[in-house]
Amino acid sequence: MEKQILRVKLYQSSAHYRIPFSYQRRFTYPIPPLATVKGLLCNLMGIKADTSQEYKSLFSGLSVAVYGRFESIVKDYTWFRNLSKESHISKFQTTTNRIHDFAPQHPGGQMPVSVDSLNENRVIIYFGHCDNEKLLEIEKCFRNPEKRNSTVHLGRAEDWLVVEDIRQITTEEKAVRRGRFFFWLPEPSYCDESYLRGTPSQYEAFFNKAPGNCLRMPLFYRITEGNERIFETYYNAKLYEGGVFPEMCTFLIDRLDDETELPLIFTKVRLQNGI
């Protein structure tokens, strides 16, 4: 059976995909990490537990490619509140006091934080799956997210999205030299070779020569009894920022328009026993 590819075009007026370990100023990736896309899928499909059969079947053969660009980036200034007992005492002196500067205030402490936000953000997500029937389920949940767990968002809960286009695409094979979007380049062991044109060694050489820092990206996590999220699966990837490739390579491409061609480079988003 021929493998199908689903393309979803998304628009967000504002978006933030937080870079871990950025606190006083919250930096953002220019495109959503795969863990964020994974969370969007689980929300749309109504998957609540990572022990469910639906969760296991979805991530037994899923591959994802993410592309995007934005018009501008701004720095928002806001207050973050800390509701810990220690923060409250630090501000109000006692646990029972709520008066500060001669007026009642919210409990806890607070600190000023700068948050980077992307404006006029557009994201293109490609989905592939070993089971074409599962791909049809993904398409259905984007068209009619009746099972969703919460508001449809990507990144922060307030970053709503608009689905501009959903369709199965037809690809062609072509040698390309340029990328016009931000996109993720997965390390060779996480690249889905079934969508590559060329040998795995050729992709490895391309990955090693591609510009950019190699980032350790989270993928799968577990929830502890204390409701803490612990990531257990990581992979290495480069964030390609557009421009000329280090060498001419042949890929499956999606022709968005007469001028824009996207080389499709999929990352395996799969449970450990499914990789």
Domain containing 132: what range? 6-82+111-274
Q: What distances in angstroms separate CA 136 from CA 45, 165, 236, 267, one per listed residue?
A: 12, 15, 29, 19
The predicted structure's pLDDT at residue 95: 85
The first and second tokens of residue 69, run together, are 């660009």
Establish how many alpha carbons lie within 13 A of residue 146's alpha carbon, considering only the half-sphere containing its beta carbon.
Answer: 3
In this prediction, residue 106 carries a pLDDT of 81
264 to 49, 78, 127, 176: CA distances (angstroms): 30, 38, 10, 11
Number of domains present in the structure of the chain: 1
**pLDDT (0 to 100) of residue 14:** 95
Q: For residue 198, what is the domain's CATH number? A: 3.30.70
- Give the residues of the chain that fall short of pLDDT 50: 274-275
Residue 177 belongs to a domain:
yes
Query: 3-class SS at 39?
Result: helix
Kindly state whether residue 64 falls inside one of the protein's structural domains.
yes
pTM of this prediction? 0.89
Report if residue 255 sits inside a domain. Answer: yes
Structure confidence at residue 275 (pLDDT): 43
